[in-house]
Structure formats: C-alpha cells, structure tokens
A and B are shown apart, each in its own frame.
Chain A
Amino acid sequence: MTLDLDITVRRDSFALSLELSVAAGEVVAVLGRNGAGKSTLLSALAGLLRPDSGRITLAGRVLTDASTGVHVPPHRRGIGLLAQDPLLFPHMTVAANVAFGPRSRGISRTDSAALVTRLLSDVDAAEFAARRPGQLSGGQAQRVAVARALASEPELLLLDEPFAALDVDAAPALRAMLRRVLRDSGRTALLVTHDPLDALVLADRVVVLSGGEIVEQGETRAVLSRPRTAFTARIAGLDLVSGVFGPSGLVVGDFVISGHVPAPIDEGTLAVAVFAPSAVAVHVSPPAGSPRNVFGAVVGGLEPHGDLIRLRVARSVDGPSWVEGLAADLTAAAVADLGLEPGVRVWLAVKAAEVALHPVAGGS
C-alpha cells in the first residue's frame, strides 16, 4: 500500500475518525457533503493540521504519528494539492508557476524547463506558457494548476473538488483531461468531492464519508449504482428505499415495492430498492390503472437540477414515513402544470422495470 491512514480529529462539534488505504497508482474518491469531514481529511494529509491520534504513512515513510509526535512539515511530505481554486501565483508567468515546484526542489533550470514544456502540452496549455495567470480563463488556469501540481512529482496527489469552481461547460473537458493525465502518469491520487460524476470518471474506488465516518466504500460503479445506505443513494443522485426481501418484492411496512432483481436475494433478508429520480412520475391525485409502485407523500422542496427541477418529498400525514427525502426529476413545465409547491399532496409512481432490488451487505 502506498498510503495508509488511520486518524482521529476532534473539534468542538465534530469528530473525524477514519481508516483508509490507497494502493500505488490507484485513484480513490472520498465522497461526502459539505461538513462531512473532507477538508479536515485533506488538511491532515497535507500536514496543515495535526490529528489528535493516529498515523499516516506514505510509501513507507511515517508522515504523522500522534503517539510519537512525528509530524513531517507540508513541504517535505511529497503530497501535492490541486484545489478548487487554481491559486496560480499571480506575479509569475504560467511557465514559472509550473517550474516553481521543480526549482524549489533544486532541479536545474534546463531540466525544469523541459519538464514544464512537456507538462504544459500534456494539459493542452502549451500556448499559455508566457502569459500571466490573470490573462487565463478559469478552465485554462485549472489546467495549468494540474501541470504545476504534477511538476513537483508528488507521491500522492490530493484533488480537492477540482471542478467545483468551473463553468458547467468547462468541467467535462477538464475532467476528461485529468482522467487521461492521471491514468498515463500512473499517479496515486485521493479525490475529495461531493459530485458523484467526478468519482465515476476519475476514481477506481469510492469512500463515502458522512458525519466524520466512512459509511460505505467499494468499487466506484458498484457503490454508486448499488448504494447500501440512504445517504450514499442521495449523494449519488439515486432514490433508495430499505426493507426486507419477500416473495413479491421489497417489503417496507405495509408496502411492497416491485422491481427487477439483478442478483439473487434470499427471502427474509434486508435489501434495498434503487431507482433514478428521472424514473419517478408525479401525480396530484391517485393515478388510475393502478401501477404497482405508488407512494403518497407531500412536496418537501424544489431545486434546479441541470435542465430539470428536482423535487424532494416529505411524508404526508397518513402516508409512509420512508418516502421522506425521495427525489423526482420533472421539467419546469410539468411543475407549473401540476401546481407543485411545498406542502402539496402528491403520489409518486415508479414502474417496476425501473426499480432494481439489491441485497444489503451482511444482511444487517
């Protein structure tokens, strides 16, 4: 293992406690909402914060050991950081920015110039070499920041929401570029994000963090398409309902949710129903023709979601409680036609073919 970490950080109202390993050449995504402990984790890794207890080792070197008081300062850790803000040094040219790391490590002017040329062309930013950061767009600056982070040849690269500050148009290209660069250079990287798409595109493995603890981890696609906790499902943008697997579907209280079963599930064990918010139809009166999966609820909130409106529901007085937080994606026109606003009674209908039932690990 290249990176091994087992730390606890306690703050007034918050505790982060986690154990994590990243193999050489592996890209691991830490997925969580704001306040989940992602930035605390990064600060501890970069050496900007001392954990209360625990140990961090990278490529056989002990970087932090709270029990012996070892704390390697940030500049000797071999850990690079690419943040959401490119933070290019405004008083240097693009080329000087990229050369900053190698020059600081004592690499000769000629060698670092060659490295800068190669890295800038790797990130498709060769033509900006002589410019000042102020003359670049956000996406261009972030490309240069990628080159700069790679130039110091970190043993571990930390990616802190690297696309969060970019235009929606610029993010996909940069994401693809970063994927190519990470794969080609075989870098070990830890990506911290709240966007499951970042994790899907870049990471081999995903760790889901909530309230300072790991709630789920595993191979990225498996975790995101088959989330085992409601939290992961919400963050992955999927609807998820937990229950017990029965002969005709998932039994949740008085309800039975029908769906397809991609892998066999034993009757009587805990399982989950997963469906996409776009597969949910919303009605303001009980739908005719009685489709099988219909749940009563009230509108909890509406938020923009790309071109669509994402509706979150809350439980109705006489309806099931587990609908709380389920999402449905609608067009703005549909929201207006149905007169949806918080507090309005709705019925959610999902076709059985759109629902996947998955076993829950350990059955508990």
Chain B
Amino acid sequence: MRRSVPVLLWVPAALALALVVLPVIGLVARSDLGRLPELVTSPTALEALWLSVRTGAAATLLSLLFGGPLAVVLARGRLPGLRLLRAIVLLPLVLPPVVGGLALLYLLGRNGFGGQVLAVFGVRLPFTTAAVIIAQTFVAMPFLVIGLEGALRTAGERYEAVAATLGAAPWTVFRRVTVPLLLPSLGSSLVLAFARSLGEFGATITFAGNLEGTTQTLPLLVYVQSQSDVDAAVAVSLLLVVLAVVVIAVARPRSIEGRL
C-alpha cells in the first residue's frame, strides 16, 4: 500500500519543481525559433560545442583514472588521517569555482611554483586547452570520487574477503570482484562528472581564459554572447539544455533517479 504524502508538502514541492522547470520554459519562450538553427550551427557555436565535448570527455577520463583509485583508497585504505583526506577531496565541491581557478592559476601559472617547474620543461599551461581540462577535472572529479566511494562502502568488503579466502591476490580481487560490482554506480558517477565538466565556467575562465577555439567552451560562449547578441546566447543555452537532457536520458544515472 502506498502511503499518502501530507498535503502540506505539495505546495513547496510544486514551487521547487517550478523553480527548476519554469526558467527553462522562459528560455524557450525567449528564443527566436526562426533563427535557432542558424545560430546553433554558427561556426563559433559548433567550435565551442566540439571543444566542450572533447574537454569534458578528457576531464571525465582523467577523473576516472585518478579519482577511481582515490575512491578505492578512501573507502578501503587503513591510513591515519583518512577522514581529513576525505574532507579535503570535497573541497572543490564547496569552493566557488572562480576561487578554484585562481588557485590553479597561482599554482600552475607563470609565477606559480608548479608553473615554474613546468616552464623548465617548456610547458605553459594557462590559457591552453589543457588548462580547460585541468580546471574541469578539478571541479568534476569529486563527484566521481564520492559516488564511487559511497558505492564501495555500501557494497562492503565481504565479497572481497571471500575472494581472498579463495586464494585470489589483491589485484585479482580488485579486477574480478571490486570493479565488476562497481560498474553500475561507475556509470552514474561518470555521467555526473561529465555533466559537471560541460557546465564548468568559473574555474575555466580564470585559469584558462576565454580564447575562441582554444578555451572558449559552451558556457563561456553563452556568457560572452549574453553581453552582445542575446538571441545567440539563448540559442546556445538551449543547446546546453538539450545536451544535459540527452546525458540524463541516455545514461540515466541511478543516483539522479534516487534508486541508489
């Protein structure tokens, strides 16, 4: 039997939903549908879209390669100070992205100590596409780490302990038990990280700048165009909305659907 929801909750719930849905409707209402195809397929928009997808994918991959192992260490490691580490990993989630971008700039910029080390090898990061990817990884990786860590904790170590008593070495256990059991939640964590990368603005503009074709991703383009050509800004915004809906529909992350 389904329990009924108290009527009192319906009003704020409806308002909350309106807050999410109405702005999108406003965007559609404001758009010039006649010029939409032309605006969305303009070379600048397409270039920004392609850059966004490429950098977003790269940032997601980096998040997986580094954030995945970090999640395993945080969930399974027995180190002193692990709780503190866990809190630090959440920092980019709480920090305003602009601050993150500034921090990256003063670490990896020309005058930062990381930047000076890189300069020895002839590498300059700020205002390059690589900087966009680093900024996106910075903000997106925590989503993947907490998603995977939560899944690892929920799954518990019992299967892994059994695998060890069956004679499997730690790497075999990781490969044949831990990873396969994580796959479902890995999907949703990857989608979240990718979506966050696509939407990244603050850290990107401070650390990577706003150079057309190199660092101007879709959100940056929307910002620039909103100052000059509002119709174009609205059109590109709609493009981002569609992209977000497609990501959710295709991947249907379970954490978003609340079926964890």
Name A residues whose Cβ lies closer than 8 Å to a Cβ of B: 46, 48, 73-81, 83, 85, 87, 89-91, 100-101, 104-105, 148-149, 151-152, 154, 158
Contacts and interface: CB of A to CB of B under 8 A. Distances in A.
Contacts of A85: 158
B162 to A, nearest CB: 5
Nearest to B169: A75
B166 interface: yes
Contacts of A80: 165-166
B167 to A, nearest CB: 5
A77 B181 CA distance: 25
Across the A-B interface, give the 7 residue pairs with the lowest CB-CB distance, nearest first.
Answer: A101-B166, A104-B168, A74-B164, A81-B165, A91-B180, A75-B164, A152-B166
B158 A100 contact: no
Contacts of B166: 75, 80, 100-101, 104, 148-149, 151-152
A79 B165 contact: yes
Contacts of B90: none
Interface of B: 158-159, 161-170, 172-173, 176-177, 180-181, 183
Contacts of A152: 165-167
Nearest to A90: B181
Contacts of B162: 81, 83, 87
Nearest to B173: A75
Given A73-B170, A104-B168, A149-B165, 10 more contacts: A46-B161, A48-B161, A74-B161, A78-B167, A89-B159, A104-B163, A104-B167, A104-B169, A149-B166, A158-B165
A332 B43 CA distance: 85
A104 B172 contact: yes
A89 B164 contact: no
Contacts of A73: 164, 170
A89 B172 contact: no
Instruction: Count chain A CB atoms within 10 A of each CB in B161, B166, B172 and give the residue with the most.
Output: B166
Contacts of A148: 166
A164 B164 CA distance: 23
7 contacts: A81-B165, A89-B177, A91-B181, A91-B183, A104-B169, A104-B176, A151-B166
Contacts of A75: 164-170, 173
Contact of A100 (B161, B163, B170, B183): B163
A46 B162 CA distance: 10
Nearest to A81: B165
A79 B166 CA distance: 8
A87 B170 CA distance: 18
A72 B146 CA distance: 32
A318 to B, nearest CB: 53
A100 B177 CA distance: 10
